[in-house]
Amino acid sequence: MNKKTATLILGLILVGAFFLPYVSGNGASVSGFKLVFGKGGLFGMTKGMLTFLILLIPLGALAAIFLANDSSYNGFVVWMPLIGVGYLAVRLYLELDKIVDSLTVSRFISALGYGFWISLAASVLLLWNNSRDD
């Protein structure tokens, strides 16, 4: 598979995964979209401008899709989803630590939904795909 096709597929996966559950537990699940734009917010996550760093995930994916044909685009575009996922992981851990008594890493990992894991894997693969020779 060539670099352009892989970029397109990974970008589409990232955009789609943003609407899948990022946090799940007790029968409820919240997508990345609802974390940013959800009514009432989850754990107060919709407060503050830094919440919009989570939007780096789909925006970086869309930018990578649209710039896949251009071989001279800035490499920062492929870092955007990974920065968004990293920020989201830290922010979720800090917010869950306030709510859950004695939050451990294993409990935190079990609270993360499959949308988060798909986004993490796809953002790392997008970064790796950009670094390889075609």
Q: What is the C-alpha to C-alpha distance for residues 104 and 42, in angstroms, rounded to an integer?
A: 20
Q: Please give the chain's pLDDT, 134 residues, in tens.
A: 888 888 899 999 999 999 999 988 777 788 888 888 776 555 455 566 777 888 899 999 999 888 877 766 667 888 999 999 999 999 888 888 887 788 888 888 988 999 999 999 999 999 888 877 76
pTM: 0.87
- What residues form DSSP beta bridges with 23? 30, 112
Q: What is the CA radius of gyration of the chain?
A: 15
How is 65-126 classified by DSSP, letter by letter?
HHTTT-TTS-THHHHHHHHHHHHHHHHHHHHHHHHSTT--HHHHHHHB-HHHHHHHHHHHHH
Q: What is the C-alpha to C-alpha distance for residues 16 and 39, in angstroms, rounded to an integer?
A: 21
